[in-house]
Structure 1
Amino acid sequence: MRGDGFTMLDLFAGCGGMTRGFLDQGLFTSVGAVEIDLAAAATYAANIDADGRHTFAGDIADYSDVPEVDLVIGGPPCQGFSALGRRDPSDVRNQLWREFVRVVRESRARMFVFENVDRFAKTPEFQLLRQTADEGGELSDFRTQVFRLNAADFGTPQKRIRTIIVGSRVGPVADPVATHAKTPVEGRAPWVGLKEAFLEGPVVLEPEVQRNWLPESYIDFQGHEIPGAFKLRDLHVTHDYSLTSQIRYAHIAPGQSRIHLPEELRYPCWERHTRGAGDVLGRLKWDEPAVTMRTEFFRPEKGRFLHPQWENGGVQINRALTHAEAAVVQGFDDRHLWCGTKAEIARQIGNAVPPPLARAVGDVVAARLSA
């Protein structure tokens, strides 16, 4: 504990979404972060660690100078567990939780928060992680609680369900308190739709975008030249879509997808594959949260990522979400800076923990640490 607050270490920190949420809670101070992706580590440092001194940009297996902290947070890469991946049990990424356990032990933390995809709760690794808190396990002095949380229930304009494991040596935490609901619930606001998020929020993102490149700007991060640091509005950039693609997109109304295209506009490969993701080439709706952001949200062929504006006789927006829109969907605001190429920043956004969701978890963790 430092002063009136608590020290925190973020593993697999990415662009800092989880740390951002805990810092917004008000009682936490970040004293360390580990992230192997150089551009993501630069983004984290630009927002959380201005001089870059406590950001370890490298493999967690090489992280040895572990500070003593009150709390360890983190979410190991989820691709090994995701329904979109191969779900290969031998995927090395499935074993990174063991490094998380090692650092928790070496940090002498009083609590930890482990985040991953919803599917993680159904894997053998989930059971093994929880078993570390059993008698004789590496974290036997911890007791764990598991929460299944939807980011939309905490004010994020996105339906993103995550498994959160809270481990504690100082007693149990209360359930995170949802602030929003899909259907009317007393004391809770409606889910935040995209119109509210893009056009009525603190940062208005006009649907029509004029450019498809990032500004020419670079920073030095630990001896490396990295593009950035970019503000949210700098990320409001589109892609150079072909005329054929734009014609396809123009035929897809909000809530529709590839299956609604006329036969002459369908991809030949679709004729051989009648099953598969129903949201591919899908258009979002203004009055609903977005679907889960993925790392290739800028490709409409990868999911339901077409901009929600589509009007008969009006202005159609025939493109995927911009990087700025995807960041807002993840719950980031204009305080957050971004480093990297367009592809690297897209990966950071798609992999991020929504800060509003992290803050809700931070509230119950802070209450327990303060007790």
Structure 2
Amino acid sequence: MGELRFVDVCAGAGGLALGLERAGFRPVLLLDRKPVACETLRRNRPTWNVLETDLLDFDPAEHQETYDVDLLSAGLPRVKSSATVARVGTEDELRLLEATVLLAHAVRPRALLIENVPGLVDSPQFETVREFIHKELEHLGYRFRWFVLNAADFGVPQVRKQGVLVALQDRYFDAFRPPLPTVGTHVPVGRALRDSMGARGWPCADAWAAQALSVAPTLVGGSDNRGGADLGPTGSKKAWARMEVNGGALADEVPGPGFDWTPGGPVSGMVKLTDGQAALLQAFPPEWRFVGRKTARYRQVGHASPPPVGEALGQAIKIALNA
């Protein structure tokens, strides 16, 4: 098989697409409804075909390039764990999940990749959702596998568990294996952020990095309807405080020479991360630029799929399609 082509829906800031690109796939179309995400994609990859539209309104008949691609991928908005998840039509996130599966009817990709919350893999709360997916994919002649990956196992300095569905046309399925970890030791926050912490000459950068020995807790992008950006719920903020990071807000820039840090002091005296440092914790390359104001940039980062995970999944799918 020659060049592998893919369509990426709910592409966001491009984390999954970037990983698939590294694995040897070429996007023929990337779709997202948020203008700021589409602008981020265009800024970083001007040659990519980016369409700003809602997946629920997308008509593949108007985009012939989407037909007969090798892969349909979707890093979808996180479905909610609640007593109402069985009502697919009442949850925006579940409607997008349903629309992605139905899109496979028209696109007929050789493989389908959906990334979401770990609970989607085996939680009883999502049984109705899985039954719908199974019925549709079996009708189309796909075989599929659910599994959970932790981004930290792929060199991402963050504990980020992701539920994954990979479906392939029958003739390719037996050659598919979920990706194995690519690192034997997880990357701690201090190692990932040491250079950026010292970028403005902060003399304590080495000392701070030496004590930030844990992997980051999961970054959470939050809701577009919520207030300013922070590093997540109370438990995450406590974990950040143990690494001398104030998780209550983001900084506009990394510490300078005059930043006064007293280890073990109050949270208010700890360093704050920038949205650029959050992107490093998602393992985006430093040259990847996010557009928008600070909160908008951070939300793109927090909602993204880490590129190394996308690359590992892409490599595993490529092996199956080339078998």
TM tier relative to shorter chain: 0.7 to 0.9
Q: Give the paired residue count.
A: 275
**Structure 1 129/334 Cα, relative in aligned 2: closer, same or farther at 3 Å?**
same
What's the CA shift for 1:61? Answer: 2.1
Matches within 5 A, 1:17-32: 17-25=15-23, 27-32=24-29
Matches within 5 A, 1:96-107: 96-107=96-107
- 2:181 corresponds to which of 178, 194, 197: 178
Q: Determine if contact 1:298/1:322 at 8 Å carries over to the other structure.
A: no
Matches within 5 A, 1:170-209: 170-172=172-174, 173-180=176-183, 188=184, 190-199=185-194, 204-206=195-197
Q: Determine if contact 1:81/1:119 at 8 Å carries over to the other structure.
A: no
What CA distance in whole angstroms lies between the structure 2 residues aligned with 1:349 and 1:311?
28
Give the aligned CA root-mean-square deviation in angstroms: 2.9
- 2:41 corresponds to which of 41, 44, 52: 44
What CA distance in whole angstroms lies between the structure 2 residues aligned with 1:116 and 1:40?
18
Q: Determine if contact 2:150/2:159 at 8 Å carries over to the other structure.
A: yes
Q: Which amino acid aligns with 2:230?
A: R
Q: Which amino acid aligns with 1:171?
A: F
Q: Residues 242-290 of structure 1, C-alpha deviation per residue, up to 9 Å, x if partnerless?
A: xxxxxxxxxxxx9xxxxxxxxxxxxxxxxxxxxxxxxxxxxxx711110
What's the CA shift for 1:95? Answer: 1.7
What CA distance in whole angstroms lies between the structure 2 residues aligned with 1:41 and 1:198?
27
**Structure 1 51/362 Cα, relative in aligned 2: closer, same or farther at 3 Å?**
closer
Matches within 5 A, 1:283-322: 286-296=212-222, 298-299=229-230, 302-303=233-234, 304-305=236-237, 306=240, 308-309=243-244, 311-312=263-264, 318-322=270-274
Paired residue secondary structure (1:73): strand
Q: Determine if contact 1:208/1:317 at 8 Å carries over to the other structure.
A: no
Match in the other structure for 2:56:
61
Percentage of identical aligned residues:
25
Matches within 5 A, 1:84-163: 89=87, 90-121=90-121, 122=123, 123=126, 124-134=128-138, 137=139, 139=140, 141-163=141-163
What CA distance in whole angstroms lies between the structure 2 residues aligned with 1:51 and 1:195?
35
What CA distance in whole angstroms lies between the structure 1 residues aligned with 2:229 and 2:56?
32
What CA distance in whole angstroms lies between the structure 2 residues aligned with 1:92 and 1:364?
30
Uncovered stretches (5+) of structure 1, i.e. residues with no partner: 181-187, 211-253, 255-284
Q: Determine if contact 1:298/1:321 at 8 Å carries over to the other structure.
A: no
**Structure 1 366/152 Cα, relative in aligned 2: closer, same or farther at 3 Å?**
same
Match in the other structure for 1:351:
303
Match in the other structure for 1:71:
71
What's the CA shift for 1:76? Answer: 2.1
What CA distance in whole angstroms lies between the structure 1 residues aligned with 2:108 and 2:273?
42
**Structure 1 334/104 Cα, relative in aligned 2: closer, same or farther at 3 Å?**
same
1:35 and 2:37 correspond: no
What CA distance in whole angstroms lies between the structure 2 residues aligned with 1:155 and 1:148?
16
**Structure 1 361/301 Cα, relative in aligned 2: closer, same or farther at 3 Å?**
closer
Paired residue secondary structure (1:133): helix
Q: Determine if contact 2:110/2:168 at 8 Å carries over to the other structure.
A: yes
What's the CA shift for 1:339? Answer: 1.1
Q: Which amino acid aligns with 1:168?
A: L
Q: Which amino acid aligns with 1:99?
A: A
Q: Residues 30-72 of structure 1, C-alpha deviation per residue, up to 9 Å, x if partnerless?
A: 1101101110111122223x156x2110111222234221111
**Structure 1 155/86 Cα, relative in aligned 2: closer, same or farther at 3 Å?**
farther
What CA distance in whole angstroms lies between the structure 2 residues aligned with 1:292 and 1:178?
18
Uncovered stretches (5+) of structure 2, i.e. residues with no partner: 202-207, 223-227, 245-261
Q: Determine if contact 2:221/2:299 at 8 Å carries over to the other structure.
A: yes
What's the CA shift for 1:299? Answer: 2.4
Q: Which amino acid aligns with 2:178?
A: D
Q: Determine if contact 2:144/2:173 at 8 Å carries over to the other structure.
A: no
Q: Which amino acid aligns with 1:299?
A: D
Match in the other structure for 1:327:
279
Q: Which amino acid aligns with 1:125?
A: V
Match in the other structure for 1:249:
none
Which protein has the larger Cα radius of gyration, Structure 1 or Structure 2? 1
Q: Determine if contact 2:220/2:232 at 8 Å carries over to the other structure.
A: no
**Structure 1 327/55 Cα, relative in aligned 2: closer, same or farther at 3 Å?**
same
